[in-house]
Amino acid sequence: MTGNSKLGRQFGEEPQDPQEPPQQPPPPWPCSLPKSRADDDSLPATAKLDTSTLVFVDSHAGQIWLVSLSANLVRTSNLPAQLSHRYSYMGISMEDSKLEEFARLIAAWPGLMATADRALIDDGLVLLKHLGNARNLVDVGSGAGLPGIAIKIKRPHLDVTLVEADQSKAAFLVHASAALQLQQVTVVARRAEDAGHDPELREAFDVAVARALAPLPVLVELCLPFVRVGGRVLAQKTEAEDPATAMRAIELLGGELSAVHASPSAARGAGTVVEIRKARRTPERYPRRPGVPARKPL
């Protein structure tokens, strides 16, 4: 989210009959869907988030929203609630639990994950007992919303921000949050190295979480800048990764290693949660420019 990024406007009115697609005026400038999907009435067009500044969410039902000109921020609290009625084509029942719905949404999104294993969703839930009194949370490198969306489902009071640079994955996060009717979820489609310098995001969160993001020294540089002083990073790792390798990065970024919790799950038998407390403000030079943390870990 850049300094001038603001929330987008909504187009289209609430339909009178939730079974009928809403009638909408045309978008304010020309746009098109991929021909292979747009011409096929049997399939919904894949949701899209890209630099055209349009977000297509369930465009089979005619839903189109305009977002900020930087095309990198969508707040799902601005999406119409009727969107939740549009997912019968995915086999979703309103009687399913939201976690089950979430697993089905992942499975229905082409190329998102190799397998939509429910155990991968449950793996993120081991973080719940470590959240304490956190009021807001950032999931860095959220991917398919693991663990951020899973945590939001179980802790609906949390204000959750999902940082994901991949545009297709960011579009999925918008799509899934709307389908699950999750409020106070923000999707930031930017690299963590850039987002970590944004004044509205830097040192703004009680907790930063990350699962399968990067080796610990890299993860520390990407996550600690988002956390306020006194807040924490909760990194999902395994016993095979030694936290001592990240001590220099933790010190440079203003953190302190608090604990390493054994946190096994069905997906991660030797799972751990590395807890890092933010003791001091992160120096302005961190995180370094995109790609540098991974190429030259601290």
For the cut 70, the answer to whether the pLDDT of residue 13 exceeds it is: no
CA atoms within a 13 Å half-sphere pointing along the CA-CB vector of 152: 27
Q: Over the stretch 252-278, which tens digit does the pLDDT of each residue have?
A: 999 999 999 999 998 888 999 999 999
238: which residues sit within 8 A by CB, 6+ positions away?
Answer: 268, 270, 271, 272
For the cut 70, the answer to whether the pLDDT of residue 219 exceeds it is: yes
36: which residues sit within 8 A by CB, 6+ positions away?
Answer: none
Q: Where are the domains of the chain?
A: 74-295
Give the pLDDT mean for 194-219.
97
Structure tokens at 139: 């999931």
CATH code of the domain occupying 74-295: 3.40.50.150
Q: Over the stretch 166-175, which tens digit does the pLDDT of each residue have?
A: 999 999 999 9
Give the pLDDT mean for 193-209.
98
For the cut 60, the answer to whether the pLDDT of residue 6 exceeds it is: no
Q: Over the stretch 20-71, which tens digit does the pLDDT of each residue have?
A: 444 444 433 333 333 333 334 333 333 444 332 233 333 333 333 444 434 4
* Choice between 83 and 291, residue whose per-residue pLDDT is larger: 291
Q: CB of 170 within 8 A of CB of 176?
A: no
pTM reported for the whole predicted model: 0.72
Nearest Cα residue to 107 out of 179, 158, 160, 163: 179
For the cut 50, the answer to whether the pLDDT of residue 11 exceeds it is: no
Mean pLDDT of the chain: 78
Give pLDDT, residue 75: 55
Among 2-16, 158-172, 267-281, the minimum mean pLDDT is found in 2-16
Give pLDDT, residue 209: 98
For the cut 60, the answer to whether the pLDDT of residue 19 exceeds it is: no
